[in-house]
A and B are shown apart, each in its own frame.
Chain A
Amino acid sequence: MTVMRSIKNKTAIVGIGMSKFSRDSQRTELYLACQTIKAALDDAGLTPEDIDGLVKQTDDASDEHAITSSMGMGNLTYFGECRWNGAPCAMVMRAAMGVAAGAANYIVVYRAVNGASKRRMIPSMRTSGQMSTSDLLQWTFHAPFGHMSEVGRVAMIVRRYMHEYNIKSDQFGCVPVVCREHGAKNPNGMFYKKPVTIEDYRKSKMIVEPLRKLDCYEEADAAVALVVTTAERAKDLKQRPAYVLGVSQNMVLETEELNTYYRSPVAAFSEMAQVGKKIFSMSGVAHKDIDCVQLDDSYGPFVPMQLEALGFCKRGEGVDFCKGGDRIRSGGELPLNTSGGSLGEGHIYGMNHIVEAVRQIRGISTAQVKDAELVLVASGAGGPASGLILGGK
Protein backbone atom coordinates (compact mmCIF):
# COMPACT_ATOMS: atom_id res chain seq x y z
CA MET A 1 0.00 0.00 0.00
CA THR A 2 1.40 3.36 -0.99
CA VAL A 3 1.10 5.97 1.70
CA MET A 4 2.42 9.49 1.52
CA ARG A 5 4.82 9.17 4.44
CA SER A 6 7.04 11.70 2.70
CA ILE A 7 4.67 14.51 3.67
CA LYS A 8 3.69 13.23 7.11
CA ASN A 9 4.15 16.04 9.63
CA LYS A 10 5.51 18.35 6.93
CA THR A 11 2.43 20.57 6.60
CA ALA A 12 -0.17 22.16 8.86
CA ILE A 13 -3.44 24.02 8.96
CA VAL A 14 -2.49 27.41 10.37
CA GLY A 15 -5.60 29.52 9.85
CA ILE A 16 -9.35 28.97 10.07
CA GLY A 17 -12.24 31.18 9.09
CA MET A 18 -15.94 30.51 9.30
CA SER A 19 -19.07 32.53 8.61
CA LYS A 20 -22.25 32.35 10.61
CA PHE A 21 -24.64 29.58 9.64
CA SER A 22 -27.93 31.04 8.52
CA ARG A 23 -30.98 30.33 6.39
CA ASP A 24 -30.43 33.50 4.40
CA SER A 25 -27.04 35.17 4.40
CA GLN A 26 -28.30 38.08 2.24
CA ARG A 27 -24.82 38.03 0.71
CA THR A 28 -23.43 36.52 -2.46
CA GLU A 29 -21.37 33.36 -2.19
CA LEU A 30 -18.34 35.31 -3.42
CA TYR A 31 -18.81 37.82 -0.61
CA LEU A 32 -19.03 35.02 1.96
CA ALA A 33 -15.95 33.34 0.47
CA CYS A 34 -13.84 36.52 0.58
CA GLN A 35 -15.01 37.49 4.05
CA THR A 36 -14.21 34.04 5.39
CA ILE A 37 -10.82 33.83 3.66
CA LYS A 38 -9.95 37.21 5.21
CA ALA A 39 -10.94 35.85 8.62
CA ALA A 40 -8.72 32.79 8.09
CA LEU A 41 -5.78 34.99 7.06
CA ASP A 42 -6.23 37.25 10.10
CA ASP A 43 -6.39 34.15 12.25
CA ALA A 44 -3.09 32.92 10.83
CA GLY A 45 -1.40 36.33 10.86
CA LEU A 46 -1.08 36.49 7.07
CA THR A 47 -2.19 38.95 4.40
CA PRO A 48 -3.70 38.27 0.94
CA GLU A 49 -0.29 39.09 -0.63
CA ASP A 50 1.16 36.05 1.15
CA ILE A 51 -1.28 33.67 -0.55
CA ASP A 52 0.00 31.97 -3.68
CA GLY A 53 -2.34 28.96 -3.89
CA LEU A 54 -6.08 28.27 -3.82
CA VAL A 55 -8.00 24.98 -3.70
CA LYS A 56 -11.73 25.07 -4.37
CA GLN A 57 -14.59 22.60 -4.56
CA THR A 58 -15.76 21.99 -8.13
CA ASP A 59 -19.38 22.95 -7.43
CA ASP A 60 -18.43 26.11 -5.57
CA ALA A 61 -19.69 29.23 -7.31
CA SER A 62 -16.69 31.38 -6.40
CA ASP A 63 -13.94 30.80 -8.93
CA GLU A 64 -10.28 31.26 -8.10
CA HIS A 65 -9.89 34.29 -10.39
CA ALA A 66 -12.84 36.00 -8.70
CA ILE A 67 -11.18 35.42 -5.31
CA THR A 68 -7.76 36.67 -6.40
CA SER A 69 -9.19 39.75 -8.07
CA SER A 70 -11.44 40.58 -5.13
CA MET A 71 -8.78 40.06 -2.49
CA GLY A 72 -5.73 41.42 -4.22
CA MET A 73 -3.79 38.19 -4.42
CA GLY A 74 -1.29 39.06 -7.11
CA ASN A 75 0.66 35.92 -7.95
CA LEU A 76 -0.99 32.52 -7.73
CA THR A 77 1.28 29.58 -8.55
CA TYR A 78 -1.05 26.72 -7.56
CA PHE A 79 -4.81 26.27 -7.99
CA GLY A 80 -7.19 23.45 -8.62
CA GLU A 81 -10.39 21.72 -7.58
CA CYS A 82 -11.74 18.67 -5.78
CA ARG A 83 -15.18 17.24 -6.43
CA TRP A 84 -17.93 15.34 -4.58
CA ASN A 85 -19.12 15.37 -0.99
CA GLY A 86 -15.78 13.81 -0.11
CA ALA A 87 -13.90 16.94 -1.20
CA PRO A 88 -13.11 18.55 2.20
CA CYS A 89 -10.22 16.39 3.45
CA ALA A 90 -9.08 15.84 -0.13
CA MET A 91 -8.80 19.61 -0.56
CA VAL A 92 -6.49 19.71 2.45
CA MET A 93 -4.52 16.89 0.81
CA ARG A 94 -4.16 18.93 -2.41
CA ALA A 95 -3.03 21.93 -0.40
CA ALA A 96 -0.61 19.89 1.72
CA MET A 97 0.92 18.31 -1.39
CA GLY A 98 1.19 21.73 -2.97
CA VAL A 99 3.13 23.33 -0.14
CA ALA A 100 5.20 20.22 0.56
CA ALA A 101 6.31 20.10 -3.06
CA GLY A 102 7.08 23.80 -3.08
CA ALA A 103 4.45 24.64 -5.70
CA ALA A 104 3.18 27.34 -3.34
CA ASN A 105 3.95 28.62 0.15
CA TYR A 106 0.55 29.43 1.62
CA ILE A 107 -2.57 27.82 0.18
CA VAL A 108 -6.15 28.72 1.00
CA VAL A 109 -8.86 26.05 0.86
CA TYR A 110 -12.38 27.47 0.76
CA ARG A 111 -16.06 26.64 0.35
CA ALA A 112 -18.93 29.14 0.31
CA VAL A 113 -22.50 28.08 -0.38
CA ASN A 114 -25.87 29.75 -0.02
CA GLY A 115 -27.33 26.29 0.40
CA ALA A 116 -30.55 27.39 2.11
CA SER A 117 -31.49 30.62 0.39
CA LYS A 118 -30.30 30.04 -3.18
CA ARG A 119 -29.30 26.54 -4.05
CA ARG A 120 -31.90 24.20 -2.65
CA MET A 121 -31.69 20.94 -4.56
CA ILE A 122 -34.23 21.21 -7.32
CA PRO A 123 -34.82 17.75 -8.76
CA SER A 124 -35.81 19.13 -12.17
CA MET A 125 -32.31 20.58 -12.47
CA ARG A 126 -31.03 17.05 -12.63
CA THR A 127 -33.09 16.17 -15.66
CA SER A 128 -31.66 19.06 -17.63
CA GLY A 129 -28.87 18.85 -20.16
CA GLN A 130 -26.41 20.18 -17.58
CA MET A 131 -25.40 16.76 -16.29
CA SER A 132 -22.29 14.80 -17.08
CA THR A 133 -22.60 11.72 -19.27
CA SER A 134 -21.95 9.34 -16.38
CA ASP A 135 -24.63 11.00 -14.24
CA LEU A 136 -27.10 10.88 -17.11
CA LEU A 137 -26.47 7.18 -17.64
CA GLN A 138 -27.42 6.60 -14.00
CA TRP A 139 -30.23 9.08 -13.84
CA THR A 140 -32.35 7.38 -16.51
CA PHE A 141 -32.47 4.38 -14.17
CA HIS A 142 -33.60 6.42 -11.17
CA ALA A 143 -35.65 9.49 -12.13
CA PRO A 144 -38.62 7.87 -13.95
CA PHE A 145 -39.20 5.65 -10.89
CA GLY A 146 -39.47 8.67 -8.60
CA HIS A 147 -36.09 7.93 -7.01
CA MET A 148 -35.03 11.53 -7.15
CA SER A 149 -34.04 12.92 -3.78
CA GLU A 150 -30.71 12.58 -2.04
CA VAL A 151 -32.53 11.45 1.12
CA GLY A 152 -34.16 8.69 -0.93
CA ARG A 153 -30.86 7.52 -2.36
CA VAL A 154 -29.33 7.36 1.12
CA ALA A 155 -32.43 5.67 2.60
CA MET A 156 -31.98 2.75 0.18
CA ILE A 157 -28.50 2.07 1.55
CA VAL A 158 -29.63 2.53 5.16
CA ARG A 159 -32.53 0.06 4.78
CA ARG A 160 -30.13 -2.60 3.55
CA TYR A 161 -27.77 -1.85 6.46
CA MET A 162 -30.67 -2.28 8.90
CA HIS A 163 -31.60 -5.57 7.29
CA GLU A 164 -28.10 -7.01 7.41
CA TYR A 165 -27.53 -6.21 11.07
CA ASN A 166 -31.08 -6.36 12.42
CA ILE A 167 -31.24 -2.67 13.32
CA LYS A 168 -34.47 -0.80 14.06
CA SER A 169 -34.66 2.74 12.69
CA ASP A 170 -35.09 4.38 16.10
CA GLN A 171 -31.68 3.00 17.10
CA PHE A 172 -30.11 5.66 14.87
CA GLY A 173 -31.48 8.39 17.15
CA CYS A 174 -28.45 8.68 19.42
CA VAL A 175 -26.38 10.30 16.63
CA PRO A 176 -28.60 13.36 16.03
CA VAL A 177 -29.22 13.63 19.78
CA VAL A 178 -25.47 13.78 20.52
CA CYS A 179 -24.73 16.12 17.59
CA ARG A 180 -27.47 18.50 18.69
CA GLU A 181 -26.23 18.26 22.29
CA HIS A 182 -22.81 19.44 21.10
CA GLY A 183 -24.37 21.98 18.73
CA ALA A 184 -26.46 23.40 21.58
CA LYS A 185 -23.19 24.59 23.18
CA ASN A 186 -21.91 26.24 19.99
CA PRO A 187 -23.04 29.88 19.59
CA ASN A 188 -21.95 29.98 15.93
CA GLY A 189 -24.18 27.09 14.89
CA MET A 190 -27.79 26.95 13.74
CA PHE A 191 -28.91 24.92 16.74
CA TYR A 192 -27.36 26.87 19.63
CA LYS A 193 -29.34 26.10 22.78
CA LYS A 194 -31.63 23.82 20.76
CA PRO A 195 -30.96 20.25 21.86
CA VAL A 196 -33.31 17.40 20.94
CA THR A 197 -34.25 14.28 22.86
CA ILE A 198 -34.59 10.69 21.75
CA GLU A 199 -38.34 11.21 22.09
CA ASP A 200 -38.16 14.12 19.63
CA TYR A 201 -36.29 11.78 17.30
CA ARG A 202 -38.94 9.08 17.52
CA LYS A 203 -41.64 11.63 16.75
CA SER A 204 -39.66 13.26 13.94
CA LYS A 205 -41.53 12.82 10.67
CA MET A 206 -40.41 10.34 8.07
CA ILE A 207 -39.07 12.00 4.90
CA VAL A 208 -38.15 8.86 3.02
CA GLU A 209 -38.57 5.77 5.16
CA PRO A 210 -36.49 4.68 7.01
CA LEU A 211 -35.02 8.22 7.33
CA ARG A 212 -36.59 10.85 9.55
CA LYS A 213 -36.22 14.61 9.35
CA LEU A 214 -33.80 14.55 12.30
CA ASP A 215 -31.58 12.06 10.44
CA CYS A 216 -30.95 14.60 7.69
CA TYR A 217 -28.90 17.77 7.51
CA GLU A 218 -30.65 21.04 6.85
CA GLU A 219 -29.36 23.32 4.13
CA ALA A 220 -27.55 26.42 5.33
CA ASP A 221 -25.87 29.52 4.00
CA ALA A 222 -22.28 29.35 5.19
CA ALA A 223 -18.63 29.56 4.27
CA VAL A 224 -15.36 28.09 5.55
CA ALA A 225 -11.73 28.84 4.75
CA LEU A 226 -8.51 27.13 5.83
CA VAL A 227 -4.88 28.15 5.38
CA VAL A 228 -2.30 25.42 4.80
CA THR A 229 1.47 25.86 4.82
CA THR A 230 4.64 23.92 5.58
CA ALA A 231 5.43 22.86 9.15
CA GLU A 232 8.52 25.09 9.03
CA ARG A 233 6.58 28.22 8.09
CA ALA A 234 3.83 27.29 10.54
CA LYS A 235 6.18 27.83 13.48
CA ASP A 236 6.40 31.56 12.78
CA LEU A 237 2.65 32.15 12.59
CA LYS A 238 0.11 33.19 15.21
CA GLN A 239 -1.63 29.93 16.08
CA ARG A 240 -0.75 26.51 17.32
CA PRO A 241 -0.40 24.51 14.06
CA ALA A 242 -2.63 21.52 13.39
CA TYR A 243 -0.18 19.21 11.62
CA VAL A 244 -1.31 16.94 8.81
CA LEU A 245 -0.25 13.48 10.00
CA GLY A 246 -2.33 11.39 7.63
CA VAL A 247 -4.51 12.26 4.65
CA SER A 248 -6.07 10.32 1.79
CA GLN A 249 -8.97 10.15 -0.62
CA ASN A 250 -10.54 7.12 -2.28
CA MET A 251 -12.72 5.78 -5.03
CA VAL A 252 -13.24 2.07 -5.79
CA LEU A 253 -15.00 -0.02 -8.42
CA GLU A 254 -18.69 1.00 -8.59
CA THR A 255 -18.27 4.10 -6.45
CA GLU A 256 -21.23 6.42 -6.96
CA GLU A 257 -22.26 9.52 -5.08
CA LEU A 258 -24.75 8.16 -2.51
CA ASN A 259 -26.15 5.44 -4.76
CA THR A 260 -23.65 2.62 -4.60
CA TYR A 261 -26.33 0.08 -5.45
CA TYR A 262 -24.51 -1.98 -8.00
CA ARG A 263 -21.84 -3.63 -5.88
CA SER A 264 -21.69 -5.93 -2.91
CA PRO A 265 -21.76 -5.08 -0.13
CA VAL A 266 -24.03 -2.07 -0.57
CA ALA A 267 -24.29 -1.41 3.16
CA ALA A 268 -20.60 -0.71 3.74
CA PHE A 269 -18.45 2.27 2.89
CA SER A 270 -15.64 0.59 0.96
CA GLU A 271 -14.04 3.93 0.05
CA MET A 272 -14.01 5.06 3.67
CA ALA A 273 -12.44 1.74 4.71
CA GLN A 274 -9.59 2.37 2.28
CA VAL A 275 -9.22 5.94 3.51
CA GLY A 276 -9.04 4.67 7.09
CA LYS A 277 -6.30 2.16 6.30
CA LYS A 278 -4.20 4.81 4.59
CA ILE A 279 -4.52 7.60 7.13
CA PHE A 280 -3.76 5.32 10.06
CA SER A 281 -0.84 3.78 8.21
CA MET A 282 0.53 7.14 7.05
CA SER A 283 0.23 8.76 10.46
CA GLY A 284 1.37 5.72 12.46
CA VAL A 285 -1.38 6.59 14.93
CA ALA A 286 -3.44 3.88 16.68
CA HIS A 287 -7.24 4.03 16.90
CA LYS A 288 -7.11 4.19 20.70
CA ASP A 289 -4.99 7.36 20.55
CA ILE A 290 -7.55 9.37 18.59
CA ASP A 291 -8.99 11.97 21.00
CA CYS A 292 -12.12 12.77 19.02
CA VAL A 293 -13.61 12.30 15.55
CA GLN A 294 -15.40 14.67 13.19
CA LEU A 295 -17.30 12.33 10.86
CA ASP A 296 -19.67 12.89 7.96
CA ASP A 297 -23.06 13.22 9.65
CA SER A 298 -25.00 14.67 6.73
CA TYR A 299 -27.22 11.66 7.45
CA GLY A 300 -27.13 10.27 10.99
CA PRO A 301 -26.89 6.56 10.08
CA PHE A 302 -23.64 7.37 8.25
CA VAL A 303 -21.92 7.64 11.63
CA PRO A 304 -22.18 4.00 12.78
CA MET A 305 -21.36 2.87 9.25
CA GLN A 306 -18.25 5.09 9.20
CA LEU A 307 -17.11 3.92 12.63
CA GLU A 308 -17.17 0.40 11.15
CA ALA A 309 -15.43 1.37 7.92
CA LEU A 310 -12.71 3.31 9.74
CA GLY A 311 -12.08 0.38 12.08
CA PHE A 312 -13.27 1.85 15.38
CA CYS A 313 -15.55 -1.18 15.70
CA LYS A 314 -16.38 -4.33 13.77
CA ARG A 315 -18.81 -4.57 10.85
CA GLY A 316 -22.36 -4.39 12.12
CA GLU A 317 -21.36 -3.06 15.55
CA GLY A 318 -21.55 0.66 14.81
CA VAL A 319 -25.05 1.08 16.19
CA ASP A 320 -24.11 -0.71 19.41
CA PHE A 321 -21.03 1.49 19.66
CA CYS A 322 -23.25 4.60 19.57
CA LYS A 323 -25.98 3.15 21.79
CA GLY A 324 -27.17 5.63 24.38
CA GLY A 325 -24.60 8.13 23.12
CA ASP A 326 -22.22 7.80 26.08
CA ARG A 327 -19.17 6.76 24.06
CA ILE A 328 -19.65 9.48 21.42
CA ARG A 329 -20.65 12.46 23.55
CA SER A 330 -18.29 15.03 24.99
CA GLY A 331 -16.51 13.29 27.86
CA GLY A 332 -16.93 9.84 26.31
CA GLU A 333 -14.22 7.59 24.93
CA LEU A 334 -14.58 8.87 21.34
CA PRO A 335 -16.40 12.21 21.22
CA LEU A 336 -18.11 12.78 17.87
CA ASN A 337 -18.62 16.04 15.98
CA THR A 338 -17.90 18.25 18.94
CA SER A 339 -19.08 21.45 17.21
CA GLY A 340 -22.33 19.69 16.34
CA GLY A 341 -21.28 18.71 12.81
CA SER A 342 -23.78 18.86 9.96
CA LEU A 343 -26.70 17.83 12.16
CA GLY A 344 -25.92 20.04 15.14
CA GLU A 345 -23.88 23.01 13.90
CA GLY A 346 -24.86 23.40 10.25
CA HIS A 347 -24.19 21.97 6.82
CA ILE A 348 -21.32 23.34 4.80
CA TYR A 349 -20.52 20.07 3.07
CA GLY A 350 -18.21 18.79 5.81
CA MET A 351 -15.86 21.79 5.89
CA ASN A 352 -16.88 22.81 9.42
CA HIS A 353 -15.70 19.38 10.59
CA ILE A 354 -12.12 20.33 9.65
CA VAL A 355 -12.40 23.70 11.39
CA GLU A 356 -13.60 21.92 14.53
CA ALA A 357 -10.68 19.48 14.40
CA VAL A 358 -8.31 22.46 14.34
CA ARG A 359 -10.17 24.10 17.23
CA GLN A 360 -9.82 20.92 19.27
CA ILE A 361 -6.07 20.92 18.72
CA ARG A 362 -5.91 24.58 19.71
CA GLY A 363 -8.05 23.87 22.77
CA ILE A 364 -10.83 26.32 21.85
CA SER A 365 -13.80 24.06 21.04
CA THR A 366 -17.11 24.73 22.74
CA ALA A 367 -17.07 21.04 23.67
CA GLN A 368 -13.34 20.79 24.26
CA VAL A 369 -11.77 17.37 24.77
CA LYS A 370 -9.11 17.77 27.45
CA ASP A 371 -5.60 17.94 25.96
CA ALA A 372 -6.80 16.84 22.52
CA GLU A 373 -3.76 16.07 20.37
CA LEU A 374 -5.06 13.73 17.66
CA VAL A 375 -8.28 14.32 15.73
CA LEU A 376 -9.68 12.33 12.83
CA VAL A 377 -11.89 13.94 10.18
CA ALA A 378 -13.81 12.06 7.49
CA SER A 379 -15.83 13.36 4.57
CA GLY A 380 -17.87 11.85 1.76
CA ALA A 381 -19.46 8.79 3.39
CA GLY A 382 -21.38 6.77 0.82
CA GLY A 383 -19.37 8.05 -2.13
CA PRO A 384 -15.89 9.20 -3.09
CA ALA A 385 -14.44 9.68 0.39
CA SER A 386 -11.53 11.42 2.08
CA GLY A 387 -10.05 11.54 5.54
CA LEU A 388 -7.52 13.37 7.63
CA ILE A 389 -5.68 12.89 10.91
CA LEU A 390 -4.53 16.15 12.45
CA GLY A 391 -2.08 16.35 15.33
CA GLY A 392 -0.84 19.03 17.71
CA LYS A 393 2.76 17.82 17.47
Chain B
Amino acid sequence: MSITYDKTHPIPMPPILWDNKGFWDGVAKHELVFQKCKECGNWVHPPRPFCPKCRSLEKEWARSSGKGTVYSWVTYRESPHPAFKAPYSVVLVELKEGMRLVSNLVDIKPEEICIGMPVEVVFDDISESLILPKFRKAV
Protein backbone atom coordinates (compact mmCIF):
# COMPACT_ATOMS: atom_id res chain seq x y z
CA MET B 1 0.00 0.00 0.00
CA SER B 2 1.08 3.59 -0.46
CA ILE B 3 3.19 5.26 2.18
CA THR B 4 1.91 8.17 4.26
CA TYR B 5 4.03 10.50 6.33
CA ASP B 6 3.85 12.10 9.72
CA LYS B 7 4.99 15.56 8.66
CA THR B 8 6.08 16.47 12.18
CA HIS B 9 9.12 14.21 11.65
CA PRO B 10 11.55 14.72 8.80
CA ILE B 11 11.95 11.81 6.39
CA PRO B 12 15.41 10.35 7.02
CA MET B 13 17.70 11.20 4.14
CA PRO B 14 21.29 10.17 4.67
CA PRO B 15 24.01 12.44 3.29
CA ILE B 16 24.54 12.09 -0.45
CA LEU B 17 28.08 11.21 -1.49
CA TRP B 18 30.09 11.85 -4.61
CA ASP B 19 29.46 8.34 -5.95
CA ASN B 20 25.65 8.53 -5.84
CA LYS B 21 25.11 12.27 -6.28
CA GLY B 22 24.27 11.87 -9.98
CA PHE B 23 21.26 9.71 -9.15
CA TRP B 24 19.79 12.29 -6.79
CA ASP B 25 20.64 15.20 -9.12
CA GLY B 26 18.57 13.38 -11.76
CA VAL B 27 15.67 12.84 -9.36
CA ALA B 28 15.66 16.57 -8.56
CA LYS B 29 14.98 17.15 -12.28
CA HIS B 30 12.35 14.38 -12.37
CA GLU B 31 14.70 12.11 -14.29
CA LEU B 32 15.52 8.54 -13.34
CA VAL B 33 19.20 8.13 -14.14
CA PHE B 34 21.63 5.38 -13.26
CA GLN B 35 25.35 4.93 -13.48
CA LYS B 36 26.31 3.34 -16.80
CA CYS B 37 29.77 2.20 -17.81
CA LYS B 38 31.12 4.12 -20.80
CA GLU B 39 33.43 1.26 -21.73
CA CYS B 40 31.12 -1.77 -21.69
CA GLY B 41 27.63 -0.28 -21.30
CA ASN B 42 26.95 -2.12 -18.02
CA TRP B 43 24.34 -0.49 -15.77
CA VAL B 44 25.63 -0.26 -12.20
CA HIS B 45 23.31 0.15 -9.25
CA PRO B 46 23.98 0.92 -6.44
CA PRO B 47 26.62 3.26 -7.88
CA ARG B 48 30.25 2.28 -7.47
CA PRO B 49 33.56 3.93 -8.25
CA PHE B 50 34.45 1.16 -10.74
CA CYS B 51 32.41 -0.86 -13.23
CA PRO B 52 32.49 -4.31 -11.60
CA LYS B 53 32.37 -5.98 -15.03
CA CYS B 54 35.24 -4.28 -16.89
CA ARG B 55 36.83 -2.29 -14.03
CA SER B 56 36.57 0.96 -15.96
CA LEU B 57 36.37 4.26 -14.10
CA GLU B 58 34.69 5.93 -17.08
CA LYS B 59 30.98 6.21 -16.48
CA GLU B 60 28.00 8.41 -17.18
CA TRP B 61 24.60 9.02 -15.67
CA ALA B 62 22.19 7.60 -18.26
CA ARG B 63 18.43 7.84 -18.29
CA SER B 64 16.41 4.70 -17.59
CA SER B 65 13.09 3.93 -19.27
CA GLY B 66 11.59 4.09 -15.76
CA LYS B 67 9.59 0.99 -16.62
CA GLY B 68 9.89 -2.35 -14.91
CA THR B 69 8.17 -4.94 -12.77
CA VAL B 70 7.80 -5.62 -9.05
CA TYR B 71 10.58 -8.10 -8.15
CA SER B 72 9.66 -8.38 -4.47
CA TRP B 73 7.73 -6.39 -1.85
CA VAL B 74 7.02 -6.17 1.87
CA THR B 75 4.47 -4.45 4.07
CA TYR B 76 5.64 -2.80 7.27
CA ARG B 77 2.98 -3.43 9.93
CA GLU B 78 5.17 -1.70 12.51
CA SER B 79 6.95 1.49 11.58
CA PRO B 80 10.70 1.62 12.19
CA HIS B 81 10.70 5.44 12.12
CA PRO B 82 8.17 8.09 13.24
CA ALA B 83 8.16 9.77 9.80
CA PHE B 84 6.45 6.73 8.25
CA LYS B 85 2.93 5.73 9.22
CA ALA B 86 2.41 1.96 9.22
CA PRO B 87 1.10 0.05 7.42
CA TYR B 88 2.97 0.81 4.21
CA SER B 89 4.64 -1.23 1.49
CA VAL B 90 8.16 -1.11 0.15
CA VAL B 91 8.87 -2.62 -3.26
CA LEU B 92 11.96 -3.83 -5.04
CA VAL B 93 11.49 -2.85 -8.68
CA GLU B 94 13.41 -4.56 -11.46
CA LEU B 95 13.80 -2.07 -14.28
CA LYS B 96 13.74 -3.13 -17.92
CA GLU B 97 17.46 -2.38 -18.13
CA GLY B 98 18.07 -4.90 -15.33
CA MET B 99 18.88 -2.68 -12.34
CA ARG B 100 16.83 -3.05 -9.17
CA LEU B 101 15.64 -0.15 -7.06
CA VAL B 102 14.00 -0.04 -3.62
CA SER B 103 10.98 2.29 -3.70
CA ASN B 104 7.32 2.78 -2.80
CA LEU B 105 4.13 2.43 -4.83
CA VAL B 106 1.56 5.16 -5.31
CA ASP B 107 -2.15 4.89 -6.12
CA ILE B 108 -2.27 1.21 -5.34
CA LYS B 109 -4.67 -1.01 -3.43
CA PRO B 110 -2.93 -3.51 -1.12
CA GLU B 111 -4.55 -6.49 -2.84
CA GLU B 112 -3.25 -5.34 -6.22
CA ILE B 113 0.45 -5.67 -5.37
CA CYS B 114 2.07 -8.80 -6.74
CA ILE B 115 5.45 -9.92 -8.02
CA GLY B 116 5.69 -9.36 -11.75
CA MET B 117 3.28 -6.41 -11.78
CA PRO B 118 4.33 -3.88 -14.45
CA VAL B 119 5.17 -0.47 -12.99
CA GLU B 120 6.48 2.91 -14.17
CA VAL B 121 8.29 5.70 -12.38
CA VAL B 122 6.61 8.82 -11.00
CA PHE B 123 8.18 11.55 -8.92
CA ASP B 124 6.82 12.48 -5.52
CA ASP B 125 7.60 16.11 -4.64
CA ILE B 126 7.45 15.65 -0.90
CA SER B 127 9.03 18.98 0.04
CA GLU B 128 11.26 21.61 -1.50
CA SER B 129 14.29 19.65 -0.43
CA LEU B 130 13.06 16.10 -1.00
CA ILE B 131 11.82 14.44 -4.18
CA LEU B 132 11.56 10.65 -4.33
CA PRO B 133 11.22 8.36 -7.34
CA LYS B 134 8.22 6.10 -6.79
CA PHE B 135 6.25 3.72 -8.99
CA ARG B 136 2.67 3.31 -10.13
CA LYS B 137 0.93 0.46 -11.89
CA ALA B 138 1.73 0.70 -15.59
CA VAL B 139 -1.20 0.68 -17.96
Residues of A in contact with B (beta carbons under 8 Å apart) = 123-124, 126-127, 129, 131, 133, 136-149, 152, 155-157, 159-160, 163, 205-210, 253, 261-262, 266
Cβ of A208 and Cβ of B76 under 8 Å apart? yes
Q: Is B90 an interface residue (CB 8 A)?
A: yes
Q: Is B139 an interface residue (CB 8 A)?
A: no
18 contacts between A and B (CB under 8 A): A137-B20, A138-B46, A139-B14, A140-B24, A142-B102, A146-B88, A147-B102, A152-B74, A156-B73, A159-B73, A159-B74, A160-B72, A163-B115, A208-B78, A261-B71, A261-B92, A262-B46, A262-B99
B88: which A residues are within 8 A, CB to CB? 146
Cβ of A140 and Cβ of B73 under 8 Å apart? no
Question: Shortest 9 CB-CB distances between A and B: which pairs?
Answer: A149-B80, A146-B84, A160-B72, A155-B74, A209-B75, A148-B80, A127-B12, A147-B90, A143-B12
Given contacts A144-B130, A147-B90, A209-B75, 4 further A-B contacts (CB under 8 A): A136-B17, A144-B12, A148-B81, A262-B45
Q: Is B47 an interface residue (CB 8 A)?
A: yes
Cβ of A152 and Cβ of B90 under 8 Å apart? yes
Q: How far is the CB of A193 from chain B (nearest CB, A)?
A: 28
Q: Is B54 an interface residue (CB 8 A)?
A: no
B72 interface neighbour in A123, A205, A262, A266, Cβ under 8 Å = A266
B102 interface neighbour in A124, A163, A261, Cβ under 8 Å = A261
Residues of B in contact with A (beta carbons under 8 Å apart) = 3, 11-17, 19-20, 24, 45-48, 52, 71-81, 83-84, 88, 90, 92, 99-104, 115, 130, 132
A146 interface neighbour in B52, B71, B80, Cβ under 8 Å = B80
Cβ of A141 and Cβ of B12 under 8 Å apart? no
Q: How far is the CB of A80 from chain B (nearest CB, A)?
A: 27
Please measure, in the bound complex, the distance between the C-alpha atom of A137 and the C-alpha atom of B92, giving whole angstroms: 17
Please measure, in the bound complex, the distance between the C-alpha atom of A143 and the C-alpha atom of B9, giving whole angstroms: 14
Please measure, in the bound complex, the distance between the C-alpha atom of A127 and the C-alpha atom of B17, giving whole angstroms: 13
B79 interface neighbour in A136, A146, A266, Cβ under 8 Å = A146
Cβ of B20 and Cβ of A129 under 8 Å apart? no
Q: A-B contact count, CB below 8 Å?
A: 116
B76: which A residues are within 8 A, CB to CB? 146, 149, 152, 208
Cβ of B46 and Cβ of A141 under 8 Å apart? yes
Please measure, in the bound complex, the distance between the C-alpha atom of A160 and the C-alpha atom of B78, giving whole angstroms: 21
B90 interface neighbour in A137, A145, A205, Cβ under 8 Å = A145
A124: which B residues are within 8 A, CB to CB? 12, 81
Q: How far is the CB of B111 from chain A (nearest CB, A)?
A: 13
B79: which A residues are within 8 A, CB to CB? 146
Closest to A147 in B: B90
B17: which A residues are within 8 A, CB to CB? 133, 136-137, 140
Q: How far is the CB of A144 from chain B (nearest CB, A)?
A: 5
A160 interface neighbour in B15, B90, B115, Cβ under 8 Å = B115
Please measure, in the bound complex, the distance between the C-alpha atom of A144 and the C-alpha atom of B132, giving whole angstroms: 8
Cβ of B100 and Cβ of A146 under 8 Å apart? no
Q: How far is the CB of A158 from chain B (nearest CB, A)?
A: 8
Assuming the contacts A123-B81, A146-B88, A205-B77, asked whether A140 and B102 have C-beta atoms less than 8 A apart, the reply is: no
A159: which B residues are within 8 A, CB to CB? 72-74, 115
Please measure, in the bound complex, the distance between the C-alpha atom of A255 and the C-alpha atom of B49, giving whole angstroms: 16
Please measure, in the bound complex, the distance between the C-alpha atom of A207 and the C-alpha atom of B104, giving whole angstroms: 18
A129 interface neighbour in B12, B15, B73, B80, Cβ under 8 Å = B15
A137 interface neighbour in B19, B72, B83, Cβ under 8 Å = B19
A143: which B residues are within 8 A, CB to CB? 12-14
Cβ of B77 and Cβ of A206 under 8 Å apart? yes
Cβ of A131 and Cβ of B45 under 8 Å apart? no
Please measure, in the bound complex, the distance between the C-alpha atom of A141 and the C-alpha atom of B76, giving whole angstroms: 17
Cβ of A146 and Cβ of B90 under 8 Å apart? yes
Please measure, in the bound complex, the distance between the C-alpha atom of A282 and the C-alpha atom of B90, giving whole angstroms: 42
B92: which A residues are within 8 A, CB to CB? 156, 160, 261, 266
Cβ of B74 and Cβ of A156 under 8 Å apart? yes
Q: How far is the CB of B71 from chain A (nearest CB, A)?
A: 7
Q: How far is the CB of A37 from chain B (nearest CB, A)?
A: 34
